Amino acid sequence: MNIIANAEVEIIDLGLIDYQKAWDYQATLFNKILDAKKGNRNLPSDQQTPTSNFLIFCEHPPVFTLGNSGNPNNLLVNGVELEKKGATYIHTNRGGDITFHGPGQLVVYPVMDLENFFTDIHKYMRTLEEAVIKTINRYGIKGDRIEGLTGVWVDHRSAYPKKICAMGVKTSRWVTMHGLALNVNPDLRFFDLIVPCGIQDKGITSIEKETGTIPDMSDVKKQMADHLMEVFAMKHKP
C-alpha cells in the first residue's frame, strides 16, 4: 500500500515531562482522533472531517516502563532501590517489554491515524525505524534492524549488537500512540537495572557512546522530525 503524500502533522515539544502526564496528554489526542473517526463513520467521504496527526517530542525524568506483554521479572531491583536511584516504575498499555526513559533520551510519540498513510502495523514499525536510521546516520552512526526484533541496532552483525533506539506502540482502529526512544546521551547505567526489552544477550548504546560527543538535543529533534516527515510523506500543519 502506498503512502498518501502530504498528510498534515502537528509537531508538539513537551520538553522534560513526567511520564504519566505525557501518557495522559497522548491519550487525549488519541481519543480525539478516535472520536473524529467515529463521527465520520456514516458520512459520505466528501462530508467527513479530516483526522489529525501529531508528533510529540519529549524527555522524561528517570522511569522504567513495562509493556502489556512484558515480564515484571525483567526489572532487577525493588521499589526501595528504585527510589534510591531517583527512578519510578509504570506498567503501560503499549506493546513490548521493559525499557528505561530518562534525561538525554529523545522520546517521540506519534499519535496518528494510519488510514491517512497505510493500514499495516508491520510497515508502520519499519517506517519508524527508517526515520531513526536516517537520523543517527547524520551523526556518522550506521544503524540497522535485526530480524524478528523491533528497534534500531548498532553493530547488528557482530556477536554483541547494541540497541540505540527502543520502540513500543499501541493502536486502535488504526490510530497510534506511544512510540520510540532514541538514546542521545542518557545515563546508560540505568539499563543495568533491567533486562532491556527482555533481551539478555545484547547491549545498549547511545549517540554519545558511539561518537564520543554529545549532539545538541534540539538538533536531534530537528533531524528526527525532518526524517519522520520524509518517510511518512507528511507536511507541517499550517
Residues identified as active-site: 197
* Residue 91: closest CA among 179, 22, 20, 163: 20
As a whole number of angstroms, the distance between CA 137 and CA 146 comes to 17
**Residue 88: partners with Cβ closer than 8 Å, 6 or more residues away:** 19, 61, 62, 63, 64, 82
H-assigned helices in the chain: 19-40, 79-85, 121-137, 207-211, 217-231
H-assigned helices in 5-96: 19-40, 79-85
**Nine-digit cell at 55?**
508528533
Helix/strand/coil percent split, the chain, to 5: 35, 30, 35
> φ, ψ for residue 189 (rounded to 5)?
-65, -25
Burial class (CB in 10 A: 0-12, 13-18, 19+), 61: middle
